[in-house]
Structure 1
């Protein structure tokens, strides 16, 4: 059995076990329409967020402890041990962030920073040949998995963030869940000679967020969406809370200080920006490969595509940076190649609020495989 089939089987068993613990009311929230290439009912599966908004599904709050454990068992099937620890740590950081902000943030709910507001939903019927999938998400976590014909065919978009990106531990230690995801890229850009650096560094300022944001599909010319636009609902029911969110969103954009020309410089283009792996020396290529591993190795062994990044594949991966290269300064980077888009930013909260995402710009959510499945069965 291939690793992708083995993982799909583990997912199906865990999803079935979780759903079996739920009552009818819980199940009505926890279930979604079966994945389908051209069915409007599949639109909800393709919505994803990384803000503390409603991600869609059954929250941890809405489950009893045994159900929560079953939910996390399903989540674990889609992650390596390191990936699971990172997600669990990110969820726990909600309590840290709440303290950092003085326990006052509310947004459109009773508690704006809440480790219980992570949402799980299963789409379709787990197991068998028919397409099915599951999504888990909340603030700074979005995991999206699709299984077709008993094989795990898509794990993107895959988002992990950290806020605070760096926080103190006893004895002078520091909690940095995404430390290597940041530090390896900085090491790479600082290793470049002046000619390569001039090509790799797009701008001396960094975008305030991903340029592709949480869009369902990546498109030519995508630019940053302000924070206030990365939420499920157009606006909060509480006007005061909406005004606070808009003010925060405006402040983030003002701090970034990008002009329209700057946004055009950093916008997404199908033709990759920056420098390709083929232009790097052996040590720099090893850095690039290790950096890719911090994204690809979030998923289970055998599912990670890292092994396929041999010489030719690594040659085609482009690296681009925006912002200063000094530690502690707001910055952004992008890795882009065939069927690959990775974005990172650590700009907000004085560069102590990190986002990282791995995407397939051609076929996020497994749309290519769903199209093939439809053609073969209809």
Structure 2
């Protein structure tokens, strides 16, 4: 991927962002526009991200007219491949399925707890030009974060996609599994590897790094109740429900300190390296990477850079059972790369997947370099 490709994608993003913003009223713009990206505390809000059904920050679909919503989705599409866009759109639609699964009850101190209208879009700074700007789109099980510097797309991580339910029935015996290949390729690979790839026989309750902005050695799983914009709901009944659900999830995982230590995040990868895999296993690992790198437009995907030498340095590790339908977790890690997956909650029918660059999530390294160059 060259600079010209990143500039072309950034220009398309800028056009779509300007079109959306021009369609908004002044009160809508006050919500839709955030501080320009910067290498200081003024950028903290842009670096906050979530995958729970909480306030992600920005203008929701509910706050927009249909034509504005269409323009919003056009902007979202500029940061995704066709397959990535379909997956995100499907995930949003799954809120209706989840509502049915749970009996159409009110949850999370909202009028509608499972709500396809509560996805948030915000643009940070002024799109286009030679400065810094970015955009974030998120809601339950979606978080897309993009930074453009001097007309070039420089960061697309963290990139989170989830599915609840991970598997659901369709007519004629067909099955909807939006992230099915993201799960199946990893399982197929791990089942062909030595037992040392399995860090723990029990899967964690969630993926380990959660929604942290910065990652540090020793990071452990955060309880569900801690992954929300506000520490507590104003309604004590709803807060008690959330805490009870969080406690049940943690109890089901049954993790001890030793289990947490085995799965804790470390900058040094755990598991088995690509260099130690046979060719068919390397092909599976390469295909698995494609289910993450293929989320963004081909022109800016890092997939082409993962040649044999790069694949050698990529490690994979697993926790939990390798039987389909059982709770499990995996981690793929290498230079400038962290991937995590878990499917443990709701009887292992609730999937999370995230692609991160610990060295440059939110473009933090680029921001630091930009400040030194321009100031």
1:295 aligns with 2:292: yes
Aligned to 1:30: 32
Q: Paired residue for 2:86? A: 85
Distance 1:209 1:108 in 2: 23
Map of 1:63 onto structure 2: 64
Query: After superposition, where does 1:49-198 map in structure 2 within 5 Å?
Result: 49-192=50-193, 197-198=194-195
Shift of 1:80: 0.1
The whole-number CA distance in structure 2 between the counterparts of 1:317 and 1:250 is 34
1:219 Cα offset (Å): 0.8
The aligned counterpart of 2:329 is 332
Q: 1:351 aligns with which of 318, 340, 348?
A: 348
Instruction: Give SS of 1:357's match.
Output: strand
Partner SS, residue 152 of structure 1: strand
State the partner residue of 2:16: 14
CA contact (8 A) 1:4 1:151 kept: yes
Task: Please state whether the residue corresponding to 1:292 is helix, strand or coil.
Answer: helix
Query: Equivalent residue of 1:2, what SS?
Result: helix
Runs of 4+ with >3 A deviation: none
CA offset at residue 360 of structure 1? 0.6
**Residue-pair matches, total:** 373
Say whether residues 1:238 and 2:235 are aligned partners.
Answer: yes
2:252 maps to which of 241, 252, 255: 255
TM superposition score normalised by structure 2: 0.99
What secondary structure is seen at the aligned counterpart in 2 of 1:302?
Answer: helix
Match of 2:268 among 266, 271, 277: 271
Give distance in 2, aligned partners of 1:348 and 1:105: 20
Q: Secondary structure at the match of 1:326?
A: coil
Q: TM-score, with normalisation over the residues of structure 1?
A: 0.98
Report if aligned partners of 1:3, 1:301 keep a CA contact under 8 Å in 2: no
Q: Could you tell me how far apart the structure 1 residues matched to 2:5 and 2:114 are?
A: 36
Superposed, 1:356-375 pairs within 5 Å as 356-375=353-372
Q: Is residue 46 of structure 1 aligned with residue 47 of structure 2?
A: yes
Question: Which whole-Å CA distance do the structure 2 matches of 1:270 and 1:42 have between them?
Answer: 25
Tell me the distance in 1 between the aligned counterparts of 2:187 and 2:31. 42
Per-residue CA distance 1:109-149 (angstroms, 9 max, x = gap): 11110000000000000001101000000000000000001
Deviation per residue, 1:288-347 (Å, 9 max, x gap): 000000000100011110100011110000000000000000000000000000000000
Report if aligned partners of 1:144, 1:158 keep a CA contact under 8 Å in 2.
yes
> Could you tell me how far apart the structure 2 residues matched to 1:88 and 1:191 are?
33
Aligned to 2:309: 312
CA distance in 2, matches of 1:158, 1:105: 28
Looking at structure 2, the residues matched to 121 and 57 of structure 1 have their Cα atoms a distance apart, in angstroms, of: 5
Question: Deviation at 1:198?
Answer: 2.4
SS at match of 2:370: helix
**What is the CA-CA distance between 1:105 and the residue it aligns to?**
3.8
Aligned with 1:271: secondary structure? coil
Helix, strand or coil for the counterpart of 1:135?
strand
Cα offset, 1:213, TM superposition: 0.3
Tell me, in whole angstroms, the C-alpha distance in 2 between the residues paired with 1:210 and 1:203: 14
CA distance in 2: counterparts of 1:281 and 1:2, whole angstroms: 36
